[in-house]
Amino acid sequence: MHTIEGMLEAYPKDLGDVDRGKLAACIQACYECSQTCTACADACLSEDMVAELVKCVRTNLDCADICATTGAVLSRHTGYDANVTRAVLEACAQACKACGDECERHASMHEHCKVCAESCRRCEQACRDLLGALG
């Protein structure tokens, strides 16, 4: 979403010494992963073997919610609070790891879990990269 960079550039005040590339990448990864997890939960519901996928659905739903919230928090810069940002990024990395691990177990059998596992890995990495850049 090229609008993410556009909105960062249009922010009227100083963004501070944040790594703008890593911030934009993490926002993008959060919104993408939220959508992918929402779709994967629904695709799991539609599998004949849904009874074996209920943990996957639940992990997807948590990850979708946490990524959406993280993407929103990162889209705000006014009155920045490093402690809140860091705690949210830690929670997001944790949720993406749990969901990536769970989806990976079904990736060879379900294409939606494969796409979703990759999305979770990218988002986990983007969160850790941004956490590292925050110092």
Binding site for a second copy (CB under 8 A): 1, 3-4, 6-13, 27, 31-32, 34-36, 38-43, 45-48, 50-51, 54-59, 61-62, 64-66, 68-69, 71-73, 75-79, 81, 83-84, 87-88, 90-91, 94-95, 98, 102, 110-112, 114-116, 119
Assign 127 to helix, strand or coil: helix
Residue type, 76: R
Q: Provide, rounded to whole angstroms, the least separation between the CB of residue 64 and a second copy.
A: 8
Sign of CA dihedral 85, 74, 119, 57: positive
Give the Cα separation of 71 and 112 in Å (integer).
22
Centroid of chain to Cα 94: 10
Cβ 47 to a second copy shortest distance, Å: 5
- Shorter beta-carbon distance to a second copy: residue 61 or 133: 61
Q: Which residue number, 66 or 129, has a Cβ lying nearer to a second copy? A: 66
**DSSP secondary-structure letter at 47?**
S
Question: Which amino acid would we find at residue 85?
Answer: T
Shortest separation between residue 89's beta carbon and a second copy, angstroms: 9
Rounded Cα distance between 63 and 40, Å, is 11
Q: Which is nearer to a second copy, 1 or 132 (CB)?
A: 1
Closest approach of a second copy to the CB of residue 70, in Å: 9
Q: What is the CB neighbour count within 10 angstroms for residue 37? A: 29
